[in-house]
Amino acid sequence: MRQPLVAGNWKMNGSRAGIAELLSGLKAGIGQVTAAEVAVCAPAIYISDVQQQLEGSAFKWGGQDVSVHTSGAYTGEIAGPMLRDFGCHFVIVGHSERRAYHAESDELVAQKFAAAWAAGLVPILCLGETLDEREQGATESVVARQLDAVIAQCGIDTVGEGVIAYEPVWAIGTGRTASLDQAQQVHAFIRGRLAQSNQSVADGLRILYGGSMNPKNAADLLAQPDIDGGLIGGASLKSDDFLAVCAAASD
Ligand code: 13P
């Protein structure tokens, strides 16, 4: 049985004061959440504040990106061991916004997955097609290419120690959620692709859905057999909304 995971991705949002308020709201409501694993992925500069407030709570936390290097002359980068130093459990790799705006290739994302894992972090690997790719019928080939690059770089057993998030780019921040069938179909495809390398990894690996998941649609999405949780953007910025999604994953 795969334990559901709900992870918030705050992206580049918030202020020190706003995040303090959000965290106290989350801590106050966490009692409702029992069965799911829950986490927030914060902008790097706020991770120390997040650690101070969430230490000892049921929440885990993480970063939104990681360098492929462990240290050295890489101005502006954050290394995996630095994230671990501040108690991070997770790190997102290959988010579509990084692929699109920072030209992250499948190979670079695979190297980031390896670096995160080597630092003791649990990488959350994002996969997903653009609207154009979906309309051309390329959804499965895009997702397979993105996944295969990581399997080739890290090996299937290491991939099995991470988490996958299917995030159709056209559903991110648009209010346009994938239909239950569309989401389930791609999740099942990803699991099938993993099974070609290792059936037990495929059975155990959590595949989260991301893309306009919110308190209204979470329960239906999470009821799909291959959807094991959510990677939540907009709805993770309000404690009540995020807690409602976490509660839906705990049912
Ligand atoms: P939204 O929930 O705002 O669509 O964002 C999804 C996402 O990109 C999470 O990583």
20-63 residue pLDDT tens: 999 999 999 987 677 899 999 999 999 999 999 999 999 999 99
Which residue type does 144 have? A
Distance 72 CA to ligand 1 centre (A): 32
* Of 150 and 32, the one with more pLDDT: 150
pLDDT at 175: 86
- Is 167 among the residues known to form the active site? yes
Residue ranges of E strands in 66-184:
90-93, 122-127, 163-166
- Is 69 among the residues known to form the active site? no
Looking at residue 177, the DSSP 8-state letter turns out to be P
Distance 212 CA to ligand 1 centre (A): 6
187 closest CA partner among 234, 123, 127: 127
Protein residue with its CA nearest to atom 7 in ligand 1? 233
Catalytic residue among 97, 104, 133, 167: 167
Q: How confident is the model at residue 236 (pLDDT cuts 50, 70, 90)?
A: very high
Q: How confident is the model at residue 223 (pLDDT cuts 50, 70, 90)?
A: very high
Q: How confident is the model at residue 64 (pLDDT cuts 50, 70, 90)?
A: very high
89 Cβ contact partners less than 8 Å away, ≥ 6 residues apart: 39, 60, 61, 62, 121, 122
Distance 159 CA to ligand 1 centre (A): 22
172 lines ligand 1 (CB under 6 A): yes
pLDDT at 32: 66
64 Cβ contact partners less than 8 Å away, ≥ 6 residues apart: 9, 10, 11, 41, 42, 43, 44, 91, 92, 95
127 lines ligand 1 (CB under 6 A): no
The fold adopted by the segment(s) 122-229+245-251 is: TIM Barrel (3.20.20)
Q: How confident is the model at residue 77 (pLDDT cuts 50, 70, 90)?
A: very high
Q: Which atom of ligand 1 is nearest to the CA of 96?
A: 8
Q: Which pairing describes strands 59-63 and 163-166: parallel, antiparallel, or unpaired?
A: unpaired
Which residue type does 102 have? H
> Is residue 113 within 8 Å of residue 154, measured between CB atoms?
yes
Mean pLDDT of all residues in 77-104: 98
Residues facing residue 38 across a β-bridge: 6, 59
| H/E segment holding residue 130 | none
Query: How far, in Å, CA of 103 to CA of 105, rounded?
Result: 6
Task: Calculate what percentage of the chain has a pLDDT beyond 90.
Answer: 95
Q: Which atom of ligand 1 is nearest to the CA of 165?
A: 10
Pocket test for ligand 1, best of 9, 125, 209, 241 (most atoms within 8 A of CB): 9
Q: Which atom of ligand 1 is nearest to the CA of 92?
A: 10
Looking at residue 213, the DSSP 8-state letter turns out to be -
The structural domains of the chain, with segments of one domain joined by +, span 1-64, 122-229+245-251
Segment 93-142, tens digit of pLDDT: 999 999 999 999 999 999 999 999 999 999 999 999 999 999 999 999 99
Mean pLDDT of all residues in 208-213: 97
Q: How confident is the model at residue 251 (pLDDT cuts 50, 70, 90)?
A: confident
Protein residue with its CA nearest to atom 2 in ligand 1? 233
